Structure 1
């Protein structure tokens, strides 16, 4: 192949108390075309983040592609990259993981391989955790963990009744900033609470969505980050008080809602947020050859 088109989904992570452990792929996609050339690098970007991303070797998709190509001994003297971005940047919807997974999946495909555990390892090394990367790579519900310096994940089938709504504000976030608000330790009682809720979330996401309101309750990270995004946390509380399962999406400031009827109650004030009804993506990253 001389080129591939990669379609990669957004993702939402943490899902309440599943901090760095739970991810869900969303039907909102970036599309990236990779064409091999004799020399040089050309990058075209349209859509989300088109005015703020670099157009050189520091572009995240290129960095991930080069890292995978090096590991696979794939010789790529030149590259033409065309990105059509639909995933909002720096909003807690896995835009960076999508970029990393797109680059890695393209290199693997051009080397004649599908994405696998080694591809996930490389993607997670970029992020420092595997929840978003696993969801973007494999689709559905991702359960991620570490074993020493190895990142691991399993994919689970989501319940077909899940109807995510992401409420996206204009503000941008940085994971490194909000992660800095977390304490080095938490009370044992809160850790036990988180363990129970994250385990319940796996069951709720895959077998019984009626339990999501309880499952997405969190004491592990959300209370510590409220100062960064007070409007986000106010909306999460308002939704939960209205009976809608809700959590901060990733590092925020986007809010993830999982209403049983797929609708946000009219009496919940969503001013300052744009609701997007998006399905769960069950396929993960897709690669097709270019003519």
Structure 2
């Protein structure tokens, strides 16, 4: 029996569209074992009623990819998923499933694939590395795709960083959130995001919270996605007034995340209240950055 713990992730972090992400201390668990025949998939926790229990399941598809690469496949497979990461909320639930499936399957057949190979496979499945890289590696990860190879730089989260995470009570698919984005952007907006991403990375590496207010600004995706999330701009403003060092859309949304080192309770309250004032029910949780990525908790030979 293989048991893998995979963290939630927040991608983009403002201007770092498709190339910056951070692991969070919220986890999904993937259990996998070989059986004599068939495929048995059990799901517990968040979204359990929406996740398929057949061969279309993301974890199963990731496992099948490993088995095909190494040309070794169990006669049957049992998978159990325990989900704490909200489904389709911008916290990397699909990335966690992909990474968990790849790691568990790789371990089941003797771990022939390296971490780098697993990252490349995860990116090929997801289409971009911003969520899968921190889910696999932990911490804050800056990624770049070069042909079929993913280059990464891992940054340890600044000491004292806290994340106030406002999770609206509705789902937003990545596909829908991408459809509202323009195919072309102005040179001015491109330069704006380049400068903010550079500031963001420097601020994170130096632990300079004051620079985050500038480094989290974005013009490539958040302004367009704001129309999909009622009250988003007002929540941003309220969180900053309450003391957040910066606020960003988490991944494709609809979750919003405030980065702070103090005033956590007040920031959480105003984010929830401002969403409510705009007709959106949400729950707010405090999460810490996670320096550790996906972890194998158990490997039991039966």
Q: TM-score range by the shorter chain?
A: over 0.9
- 1:30 pairs with one of 28, 31, 34: 28
What RMSD in Å do the two structures reach over aligned CA positions? 1.6
Q: Distance in 1 between matches of 2:290 and 2:182?
A: 33
Secondary structure at the aligned position of 1:246 is classed as strand
Question: Pairwise mapping of residues 11-26 of structure 1 onto structure 2 (< 5 A)?
Answer: 11-26=9-24
Unmatched segments (≥5 aa) in structure 1? none
**What's the counterpart of residue 57 of structure 2?**
59
Contact 2:4 2:29 in 1 (8 A): yes
Contact 2:180 2:224 in 1 (8 A): yes
- 1:103 pairs with one of 101, 104, 107: 101
Matched, 1:88 2:97: no
Question: Pairwise mapping of residues 236-247 of structure 1 onto structure 2 (< 5 A)?
Answer: 236-244=236-244, 245-247=246-248
- Structure 1 residue 262, shift from structure 2 partner: 5.6
- Structure 1 residues 267 and 228, CA, compared in 2 at 3 Å: closer, same or farther? closer
Deviates more, 1:74-83 or 1:91-100: 74-83
**What's the counterpart of residue 73 of structure 1?**
71
- Structure 1 residues 99 and 262, CA, compared in 2 at 3 Å: closer, same or farther? farther
Contact 2:243 2:263 in 1 (8 A): no
Q: Distance in 2 between matches of 1:69 and 1:211?
A: 45
1:142-172 Cα distance to aligned partner (Å, 9 max, x none): 1011112433322221112111121101110
- Structure 1 residue 234, shift from structure 2 partner: 2.7
- Structure 1 residue 59, shift from structure 2 partner: 0.4
1:68-109 Cα distance to aligned partner (Å, 9 max, x none): 121122222111111110000000000000000000011222
Q: Distance in 2 between matches of 1:156 and 1:211?
A: 16
**What's the counterpart of residue 40 of structure 1?**
38
- Structure 1 residue 267, shift from structure 2 partner: 4.8
Structure 1 residue ranges, 4+ long, deviating more than 6 angstroms after superposition = none
Secondary structure at the aligned position of 2:120 is classed as helix
Matched, 1:275 2:284: yes
Q: Distance in 2 between matches of 1:233 and 1:135?
A: 27
Q: Distance in 2 between matches of 1:36 and 1:231?
A: 48
Q: Distance in 2 between matches of 1:147 and 1:241?
A: 40
User: Which structure has the highest helix share of the two?
Assistant: 2
Q: Distance in 2 between matches of 1:105 and 1:280?
A: 22
Question: Pairwise mapping of residues 219-238 of structure 1 onto structure 2 (< 5 A)?
Answer: 219-238=219-238
Q: Distance in 1 between matches of 2:228 and 2:200?
A: 25
Contact 1:178 1:251 in 2 (8 A): yes
Q: Distance in 2 between matches of 1:190 and 1:7?
A: 38
Q: Distance in 2 between matches of 1:228 and 1:118?
A: 36
- Structure 1 residue 205, shift from structure 2 partner: 2.3
Contact 1:117 1:152 in 2 (8 A): no
- Structure 1 residue 213, shift from structure 2 partner: 1.5
**What's the counterpart of residue 212 of structure 2?**
212
Q: Distance in 1 between matches of 2:257 and 2:250?
A: 5
Compute the TM-score of the two structures, normalised by the length of structure 2. 0.91
Contact 1:165 1:262 in 2 (8 A): no
**What's the counterpart of residue 256 of structure 1?**
257
Q: Distance in 1 between matches of 2:27 and 2:233?
A: 26
Unmatched segments (≥5 aa) in structure 2? none
Secondary structure at the aligned position of 2:231 is classed as helix
- Structure 1 residues 128 and 163, CA, compared in 2 at 3 Å: closer, same or farther? same
